[in-house]
Amino acid sequence: MSNRKGKMLQFFVISFAEKYGLKESLILTELCKQTHTAGSSHVSLSVLECSRIFAYMSEKQIRITLKKLIEIGSISIYEPDQKTFDRTLQYQVQDEIYQTYLQAVTSLQFF
């Protein structure tokens, strides 16, 4: 039995995978899910936290994937006005991406 702390069940939005790739889709879907849960336009997400969620991805893969998502404009870094020593980045998902996520989730059916 593995002692990894990844979730037992994960899902991703297929249209994200078709457009951006599988790793990108997994991270985009997680960012959208956390945005929806938090009820905020931005969420804090560290590479370490991502590596716990996606135990099958290395920290390097996660960093590269987040960087790619920023470069293509799917997410942006949100910089609050607070001056704290917390270096955890906060990400904001592009509105079009978030709307696609909401459509996918509302049409989700379990067998």
In Å, how far from its chain's centre is CA 48? 13
What pTM does this model have?
A: 0.82
Mean pLDDT of 107-111: 69
d(CA 53, CA 84): 25
Residue 88 falls within a domain, yes or no? yes
How many other C-beta atoms lie within 10 A of the C-beta of residue 92? 17
Kindly report the CATH number assigned to the domain that includes residue 27: 1.10.10.10
Can you tell me the distance from the alpha carbon of 64 to that of 71, in angstroms, rounded to the nearest whole number? Answer: 10
Q: What is the pLDDT of residues 79-89, one digit of tens each?
A: 766 666 666 78
Residues spanned by the domain of 35: 14-106
**Domains contained in the chain, number:** 1
pLDDT digits (tens, 9 = 90+) for 2-61: 444 545 678 899 999 999 999 999 999 999 999 988 888 888 888 889 999 999 999 999
Q: Which two tokens stand for residue 72?
A: 């293509």
Length of the chain: 111
